[in-house]
Amino acid sequence: MASYSSLCLIMNNIFLFFLLFGHEFLQLQAFHHVYRAQTSHSTVHHNHHQHHHQQPHRTSYHFQPPKNWINDPNGPMIYKGIYHLFYQYNPKGAVWGNIVWAHSTSTDLINWEPHDHAIYPSQPSDINGCWSGSATILPGEKPAILYTGINPKNQQVQNLAVPKNLSDPYLREWVKSPNNPLMAPTPQNHINASSFRDPTTAWIGPDGEWRVIVGSKLDARGLAVMYRSKDFVKWNQVDHPLHYKDGMGMWECPDFFPVAKTGRKGVETRVYGSQVKHVLKVSLDDTKHDVYTVGTYNWQKDIYIPNKGSIESYNGLRYDYGKYYASKTFFDSQKKRRVLWGWVNESSSVDDDIKKGWSGVQAIPRAVWLDASGKQLIQWPVVEIQKLRNNKVKLTNEVLKKGSIVEAKGVTAAQADVEISFKVENFKKAEILKPEWKDPQLLCSQKGTSTTKSGSVGPFGLLVLASNDLKEYTSVSFRVFKGQHKYVVLMCSDQSRSSLNSNNDKTTYGAFLDVDPTRENLSLRSLIDHSIVESFGIKGKGCITARVYPTLAIGDSVGLYAFNNGTDSVTITKLTAWSMKKALIN
């Protein structure tokens, strides 16, 4: 463990200058860029084991294949003690297209071994693509996969595949049902053939019938189309959707699962009754955000009703307020937890993606459970990730005056895990939250990392992936406002100075967190991995993931700092940072 003296406290006037004046010319962007739906048949050839100096932005402990495009996590499950992850993959290039199900397995959710593609176009019902879907463990420990196929008419239909050999724990070969497709748009069922995809994990009712939902839309109405089956092969459409909502557009990749009302343990999809609530997550094609509600599922009527007060719109609760999409959970029967996977796409340009030969990573899997308030989920990186922690450095009770920063020396700051908590001593100077400041992302980008003239609590937080001269850094911070009846905590991840490369999307992200800062210290954890920063505010109440592509802050030339730029001092009650070891991935 490094000593206290390895953490040096410095006042940095140059830094202050950047914080105060660097944001004057900030451009506001309402949405992040999305580079999907571009097909390329060109193959990118390069060495699989390029070193970090050639590929400074490749991650060291996030899930990635050696090259090419990846998107949605598919069919995650555990079978005979082995974790399976399938994912949307383009074998031919670094942009979306030619989609197959690539496949990897793991015993710890951290190190991954690749296998041959599990599902690829081979029959009329999927000849134009094998799109997203989910795994269900049928009675007798028999996994089954439902996925979307694109047929010769480019219609979206749902197919079934099962393992060829159940005694192979790696489930390397999959056989498609001769009855495919099992669900398809017909002239009678009013299903939009270009908006009918991504079947969930199925769940069995107390009546012994299977249920599954498929994402869809009719005009601007988002729909969870529902089917039932007695044998998992013959599926009948239920006469009403499980749920729908006008004005949300296409619901991609729905996920529907129960959560225990108390405690952190996960529950299987077959659990009903007063001990659980249900969560419906949908991926909004229009905004590329994963939003969810907590509510009640009535299996007799097959309807889902969100809790009173739930927001169901583009502004709903999100798993992550940064880049995070097409996520999917599974029940880990070994560790009795529900685990969430999510795709993190690029903020680099398509040209840069083609140059580097890859695009997209999976976020570190997160355990999810219901918050004690019952109003939202809590998410926390799976505990296994802590196996990679190395060279701990620690700091306690450090007062940070306005404008001061502290460097956490002795960690590989490009590849690190850091936890910090702050105590605010004085809330008197908290800025008043104007009623029109409703959009946290906009508030973060307008306020930036600089303080306001009128006195403020915050911003304070971390500067990650910072270059030695502080010309590049990503700031993850808190700011406290005085609301009408309570203090309001804003968490920001500011990418505006993350890279000198102007081709990157540098949108600033923000979220309001449901916490009383007079009763609880404000804590933050960031997982830093070369070009990704996953941040967890208040022990997982709010998450923000950012992709950044520094030009100077790469390799050994990266620093990690804590800072306070609010008018009043704050105390770092504790800062712990670790270097992260490289995981063995694919």
* Residue 318 binding ligand DQQ, by CB under 6 A: no
Smallest gap, in angstroms, from Cβ of residue 340 to ligand DQQ?
16
Neighbours of 261 (CB within 10 A): 12
Among 137, 253, 291, 364, binds ligand DQQ (CB under 6 A): 253
Between 121 and 169, whose beta carbon lies closer to ligand DQQ?
Answer: 121
Structure tokens at 409: 């020396």
Smallest gap, in angstroms, from Cβ of residue 213 to ligand DQQ?
13
The structure tokens 């949307």 sit at 88
- Residues 113-132 touching ligand DQQ, rule: CB under 6 A, are 131-132
Between 15 and 251, whose beta carbon lies closer to ligand DQQ?
Answer: 251
Rg (Cα) of the chain, in Å, rounded?
Answer: 24
Position with the least CB separation from ligand DQQ = 131
Among 71, 362, 441, 493, binds ligand DQQ (CB under 6 A): 71
Smallest gap, in angstroms, from Cβ of residue 441 to ligand DQQ?
21
Q: Contact letters (x/-) for ligand DQQ, 485-524, by CB under 6 A?
A: ----------------------------------------
* Residue 58 binding ligand DQQ, by CB under 6 A: no
In this structure, what are the phi and psi dihedrals at residue 123, rounded to the nearest 5 degrees? -140, 165
Between 197 and 530, whose beta carbon lies closer to ligand DQQ?
Answer: 197
Among 79, 174, 248, 252, binds ligand DQQ (CB under 6 A): 252
* Residue 257 binding ligand DQQ, by CB under 6 A: no
Smallest gap, in angstroms, from Cβ of residue 200 to ligand DQQ?
12
Q: Contact letters (x/-) for ligand DQQ, 74-93, by CB under 6 A?
A: --------------x-----
Between 71 and 475, whose beta carbon lies closer to ligand DQQ?
Answer: 71
- Residues 278-297 touching ligand DQQ, rule: CB under 6 A, are 283
Rounded CA-CA distance 288/174 in Å is 31
Rounded CA-CA distance 463/470 in Å is 9
Rounded CA-CA distance 76/109 in Å is 11
Rounded CA-CA distance 255/259 in Å is 12
Is residue 30 exposed (0-12), middle (13-18) or buried (19+ Cβ within 10 Å)? exposed
Distances (CA, A) of 48 to 51, 52, 73, 585: 9, 12, 22, 12
* Total of residues contacting ligand DQQ (CB under 6 A): 14
Please name the amino acid found at residue 318.
Answer: R
Among 16, 226, 326, 400, binds ligand DQQ (CB under 6 A): 326
Structure tokens at 382: 């799976």
Is there a catalytic annotation at residue 219? no
Is residue 435 exposed (0-12), middle (13-18) or buried (19+ Cβ within 10 Å)? exposed
Among 148, 359, 376, 493, binds ligand DQQ (CB under 6 A): 148
Neighbours of 373 (CB within 10 A): 10
Structure tokens at 266: 């996960």
- Residues 536-555 touching ligand DQQ, rule: CB under 6 A, are none
> How far from the centroid of its chain's Cα atoms is residue 41's Cα?
28
Who's near 235: CB < 8 A, 6+ residues apart? 158, 182, 183, 212, 227, 228, 229
* Residue 320 binding ligand DQQ, by CB under 6 A: no
* Residue 195 binding ligand DQQ, by CB under 6 A: no
* Residue 198 binding ligand DQQ, by CB under 6 A: yes
Rounded CA-CA distance 152/142 in Å is 30
Rounded CA-CA distance 425/354 in Å is 49
Catalytic amino acids? 72
Residues that bind ligand DQQ (CB under 6 A): 71-72, 88, 99, 131-132, 148, 197-198, 252-253, 283, 325-326
